[in-house]
Structure 1
Amino acid sequence: MYVSLPFNHVVALQADTGKLIWRYNHERLKNRAMCCGPANRGVAVSDGKVFMGTVDSRLLALDTKTGQKLWDVDVTLGEQGIQEDAASLGSQLSGQTDKQGGKLEVSGASGAGINMAPMVFDGKVMVGITGVGYGLHLDSPDPDAPLGAVVGIAGNYGRRGFMAAFDVDTGNLAWKFDTVPEKGWEGSFTKVTQDGVVLPRNIEQEKAAAAKYPDAWQYGGGSAWSTPAIDRENGILYFGTGNPSPQMEGSSRPGDNLYTASLVALDVRTGALKWHYQQVPHDQWGYDVASPPVLFTTRHKGQQTPAVGQAGKTGWFYVHNRITGELLFKSEAFVPQNNMFTLPTEAGNVIYPGVIGGSNWSPVSVDEKRRMVFIAGIHWPVKYQLHELKAKGNKPALKYSSMSPIEDGEKYGLLSAIHLDTGKLIWQHKVNAPLIGGVLSTATGLVLSGEGSGEFFALDAQTGQRVWQQDNSAGVNAPPISYEIKGKQYFAVAVGGNKLFGFKQGQTIKAWALKSQ
């Protein structure tokens, strides 16, 4: 068992005993600040190598038997992003009090790192970069509390993201797809999403402003947060892209901001674009396409159709023809929805799902036999608010927006079962805290996931009833896995918590074995 740890250390463990075989300690480049924390979502294992993307934007290959580093490439060639404006804005905000009376302490910056587990196919290892639309965050006064607020300010900071493929033996670049194109990034200036949602856009104003921002694509955002899915028969790679940059504030990036907030399909061997589906054009709400896509077959208009599905932060599960990209249907909402796609006000709009709602990084699990997909969801309302700083000294007045989780309101998690052919909700299992981790389903009819309180649990796939649970000393906020050794089946999960959501942190890998019948 190969496990990636915070800050990109890696351990190899005996999978039936947990005994340590080797440990790789990563030396992070000191001149690169982490854009998005030390989190890492796993490794890939193939061709006698363990592949890992790092928070300082490198791709490594380790020997599976010894942990020795075989090669190490800088996927961004040292270009971390344009941060000067973000740093200046952070300095302007920090320590001041806004019109609503709140003291501002700023963290976060645009940059480039890798959080996803790589994917290997046909002698190439694929990985994408994150953090390129990260912008600025306002800290909570309590260091152990969840993230305080996400800030939107117009300006030129960040960079555009990409997905790239590298040779498994040498680390040489094979192809690269930029998530924001140099030409055509403005799109068609649509006011209605492809699934019929009307957006509050002033198209005439955006078109008039377009000439002022011809280089907005350079700072365009579009992080790749989660591991792609690959249709090996048809040679297509699918991945989701993050929000445009600057986040939430759209005035300095007029247009649809292609290909951000989209599900993207590429030729896996060349990186050429096959199709894309933009869930939210000109996104101003932080609706990243973050949960990994999943492949299955759906029955559409009486025909078996190869499909790709993605659980959105919007609260819908989108199902596409995986060859053409056609949207076949979107599901019933798997989390409550209110005030979506409304703009911020001085008093503040309460929105859900918001920047942390719907389905975030958590992978879903498909059970084609029972015709279900299981989704870990988040209900956590946010306040979307306009702010203004008065001019002070040599610092000019500044307007900005924030999206803040409402701490004293109702928040919870929902594990939902949705029908693969109709998008109808079959059942939902409610837990006390937002679900941020992932789901595993088994052929025998178990659905496993974990809670921030430390509970690792199993549900009956048909009914959603809880049939087993195990308490742990920290939050279970990672996807579980299952494997078999010498005829015995195991379940394992990382018990590490999650600081962003305020869940108790830990440093344990735990495994359980099923009893023999």
Structure 2
Amino acid sequence: MSHLLAPSPAPVPWLARVIGGVLLVFGFVLLAAGGWLASVGGSWYYALTGLCWAVIGALMWGRLREAVFGYALYFAATLVWSLWEVGLDWWPLGARLGVPFLAGLALLVLVPTMRRHLPADDPRRVTLRSPPGTALTLVLVAFVVVALFAMSQDLHAVEGSMPDSPKASASSASAVSGIPDGEWHAYGRTGQGQRYSPLAQITAANVGELKLAWEFHTGDKRGRPGDPKETTFEVTPLKVGERLFLCTPHQTVLALDATTGRELWRFDPQVRGELALQHLTCRGLSYQPPADPMAAAGAQAGACAAKLFMPTADGRLIALDPATGKTCPRFGHNGAVDLWAGMPNVQAGAYYSTSPVAVSSRLVIVGGTVLDNASTKEQSGVIRAYDIETGALVWNWDSANPEATAPIAAGQKYTPNSPNSWSVASVDEALGMVYLPMGNQPPDQWGGKRSPAVEKYSSSVVALDLATGQVRWAFQTVHHDLWDYDVPAQPVLIELRLKGQDGPPVPALVQPTKQGELFVLDRRDGRPVLRVTETPAPQGAAAGDFTAPTQPVSAISFNPPELTERDMWGVTMFDQLWCRIAFHKLRYEGRFTPPSTGGSIINPGNFGVFNWGSIAVDPVRGIAFTTPAVLAFTSQLVPRHDDTTQLVQDDGKPTGALPALNENFGAPFAARMKPFTSPLGIPCQAPPWGTVAGVDLTDGRVVWRHRNGTVRDLSPVPLPIRLGVPSLGGPLMTAGGVAFLSGSMDDYVRAYDVNNGRQLWESRLPAGGQATPMSYLGADGRQYLLVIAGGHGSTGTRPGDSVRAYALEKR
């Protein structure tokens, strides 16, 4: 050993000293941060890595053989530890081993330099054939072999094939809706919200041949003065006759020729003035067909036998003639109903219907959105039904005063701050009910002063009698909601025959939720068709509040697995360490962990496993195409000492009339909510964050599930790496066995085989496609796929103004 203490006969290569210095510095950093992690019960790996790197870095300055051999031992131990933590799941594995592998590779490249710079008899001399060099080579090669095998696997995929025995006939499904197969008359094609086209011209065999047939630019992009951050192009157009009808973010209504994309007319509702907007969007229009075929002729003379209904950002409901784009003067006052009538706390822009209204043969039924978490003095969440011909108020249902459904008297006001229904309702005229997905009362994260009626109807699906507005039944999806788990998606109505069931099918309702449940209910009485279990929930709410002891879980649940420290992720070991530390600093006891003043992890976050895009259901086969997303958020309650100070405007105070969101003026706490990400802005939980999944509704089975989308438009380097990204905007299913989705956070529209979830086709979009596609038959006999590409302000996808139609080549 005496030779180790002798003076160096030759200087250590400068590159060795550089690498040694880097390892030494980062070693001390890892030792300090990893020591903190270990002290709170976390993994010891990072502290031990820091110690190893510091020792190896010091050895690099004089004892190169020991340094290389020591690194080989360290890397072998890291490989074993990584496999123990995450197995052969490549992306978590790569995050743990990427930096150590590159450092080891640098050492391996340095080995020949060590040989050249040192005399043959120098004890520090290292070669690739010497024991240290061989050891390092072997462990690095072992990692490459493991990596290649892990990359070939997808441990998160569920493989399977849908049953192909029909539960009904396609012709009978079309007959029930009364809508021609080639048309699309409502947001979900029909009032049942299925997002299913009975057209079968495009199939799994030929979808790869789809080409862009035409493209139209509306001229309406986000970025105008007064636009809120969430200015979005989310519309799903209607197709009636040979025309398409759509609305833009700034409320312009357009009619296009469905076969050529040529503009036929344009209506500007003249929304003016500064508006206190949280959202600026129009998800779609609503259509009232003529009462009889002969009435259509009268429409040309301005009689408005048919109508389009458009809610505006300044609180009006406008009725338009589909033939001319002019207002229908018999409806309301000169073609419009004032939605501010009877509304408390009037503030232009703070209340309007962002979603298309529901239509029955007699009524147009309107809900609306209110500002989320701005104050405790917001508008009412009242649901109102108007006569479809005259616009006269027929009934109103206020969830905080649910028995009083007779039209409100002049001079009276609806209940301030009552739960609202901002998403899309569904209608069953045969049963005489409208089905409402309900929100909750602001503030979302603190509910210490909610009334019994508010508690009963918050975050529920509620069935109202079409004739009277009285409650027929209600099913609550979250008890005492403190997580902004309002019901975001349109209920889907389907005649469902369960596996092994005899007799007629059940008139069912499928309700997707933000927390990942697909509740399947009997829409006649709200009783579960598939099992619902009340499960214990974490306790310990903020001061003055409480938590429900249990929460409902459906037999079909996409509830993400409970997070652990080993689920923390990052591009490198360093941001993964940051996420591990953050995981231990925040409160987390699984799903329904209450918000707290110290900060809590909310998984899934209020982005939702499912959101307003809902799901697509094939009524013929009884199957669903779904798009589950998983993104954890953090929620911190900030104590308020007055009703005016802005506490959580981390991006600066809002300008103009735009509201200060999440301040909760009038409540004990403001709320700071954001995605659970590393300092690099990357989710702290490992991918996939977005998938597509096929569900057999007849037995509640998830048949297949696969990653969806790439990080091409999310990362600084545009690499099309298929991690699986969230989508915002619903899917479309067709009778041809193909599903379409454009809402992923990369700018693509994709086609999937509904039988097994295999991706069949994709097309690059000029902007984010955060809307639900639709399909129709053109005058040329071709089936078209229509996609909106305009981007979404909150998610930061690329803005645009495109309406794109795809079709197969003419034969």
Does residue 384 of structure 2 align to residue 164 of structure 1? yes
Larger radius of gyration: 2
Aligned residues: 440
Deviation at 1:125, TM superposition (A): 1.6
Instruction: Give the whole-Å Cα distance in 1 for the aligned partners of 2:791 and 2:693.
Output: 22
Q: Which residue is equivalent to 1:510? A: 804
In structure 2, C-alpha distance between the alignment counterparts of 1:219 and 1:447, rounded to whole Å: 42
User: Residues 252, 416 of structure 1: CA spacing in aligned structure 2 closer, same or farther, 3 A cutoff?
Assistant: same
* Range that drifts further, 339-348 or 391-400: 391-400
The runs of 5 or more residues in structure 1 that have no matched partner are 84-108, 137-154, 185-216
Q: 1:221 to 1:471 in 2, by over 3 A?
A: farther
Cα displacement (A) at 1:466: 0.3
> 1:11 matched to which residue of 2?
254
Cα distance, 1:467 vs. partner? 0.3
Question: Scaled by the length of structure 2, what TM-score is found?
Answer: 0.51
The Cα of 1:377 is off from its aligned counterpart by 2.4
The answer on whether the counterparts of 1:228 and 1:293 sit within 8 Å (CA) in structure 2 is: yes
| Percent of residue pairs identical | 31
Q: In the alignment, which residue of structure 1 is the partner of 2:323?
A: 65
* 1:427 aligns with one of 704, 717, 727: 704
Aligned: 1:81 with 2:345: yes
Corresponding residue to 1:39 among 245, 267, 281: 281
Measure the CA separation in 2 of the matches of 1:349 and 1:505.
Answer: 33
Counterpart contact for 1:355–1:403, Cα < 8 Å: no
* Unaligned residue ranges in structure 2 (runs of 5+): 1-243, 291-305, 329-334, 405-413, 531-553, 563-589, 648-666, 709-723
Superposition pairs for residues 12-161 of structure 1, below 5 Å? 12-30=255-273, 32-34=275-277, 36-46=278-288, 47=290, 48-70=306-328, 71-77=335-341, 79=343, 81=345, 111-131=350-370, 134-136=372-374, 156-161=376-381
* Bigger share in helix: 2
- Structure 1 residues 232-241 or 340-349, which shifts more? 340-349
How far residue 169 of structure 1 moved from its aligned partner, in angstroms, is: 2.4
Task: Name the residue aligned to 1:384.
Answer: 635
1:262, 1:289 within 8 Å by CA — same for their partners in 2?
Answer: yes
The answer to whether structure 1 residue 351 and structure 2 residue 598 are counterparts is no
SS in 2 for 1:447: strand
Structure number with the bigger relative contact order (C-alpha 8 A, sep ≥ 6) is 2
Deviations 1:461-497 (A, max 9, x none): 0000000111011111101111002321101021111
1:403 maps onto 2:673 in alignment: yes
For residues 616 and 481 of structure 2, what CA distance do their matches in structure 1 show? 27
Comparing 309-318 and 326-335, the one that deviates more: 326-335
**1:63 is aligned with what amino acid?**
D
Question: Structure 1 or 2: larger strand share?
Answer: 1
TM-score, reference length from structure 1:
0.79
Shift of residue 371 of structure 1?
Answer: 2.4
Q: 1:109-141: per-residue Cα shift (whole Å, max 9, x none)?
A: 993111111222113222211115x123xxxxx
Of residues 461, 476, 490, the one that matches 2:754 is 461
- Return the alpha-carbon distance in structure 1 between the equivalents of residues 426 and 381 of structure 2: 18
Q: Please tell me the residue identity of whatever aligns with 2:671.
A: S
Write the letter of the residue equivalent to 1:65.
A
CA distance in 1, matches of 2:739, 2:437: 24
Distance 2:382 2:643 in 1: 39
| Deviation readout 1:383-439 (Å, 9 max, x if unpaired) | 122334689999999743333212421462222211112222111232233111111
Offset at residue 378 of structure 1 (A): 2.0
- In structure 2, the CA distance between the partners of 1:391 and 1:314, relative to structure 1 (3 Å rule), is closer
CA contact (8 A) 2:382 2:399 kept: yes
- CA–CA distance in structure 2, aligned partners of residues 344 and 80 of structure 1: 29
Match of 2:629, SS state, is: strand
| Pair 1:332-2:609 in alignment | no
Aligned to 1:2: 245
Q: Is the 8 A contact 2:378 2:416 kept in 1?
A: yes
Is the aligned partner of 1:367 residue 2:618?
yes
Question: How far apart, CA to CA, are the structure 1 residues paired with 2:342 and 2:395?
Answer: 18
* Distance of 1:461 and 1:394 partners within structure 2: 52
Letter in 2 for 1:413: G
SS at match of 1:258: helix
Cα-to-partner distance string for 1:60-112 (whole Å, 9 max, x where unaligned): 011112211220111231735377xxxxxxxxxxxxxxxxxxxxxxxxx9931
Residues 393, 236 of structure 1: CA spacing in aligned structure 2 closer, same or farther, 3 A cutoff? closer
Q: In 1, Cα distance between the equivalents of 2:403 and 2:287?
A: 37
From 455, 461, 465, the equivalent of 1:267 is 465
Q: Is the 8 A contact 2:519 2:556 kept in 1?
A: no
Shift of 1:297: 2.1
User: Does 2:493 match 1:295?
Assistant: yes
Query: Taking structure 1 as reference, are residues 388 and 473 closer, same or farther at Cα in structure 2, changes over 3 Å only?
Result: same
> Paired residue for 2:105?
none
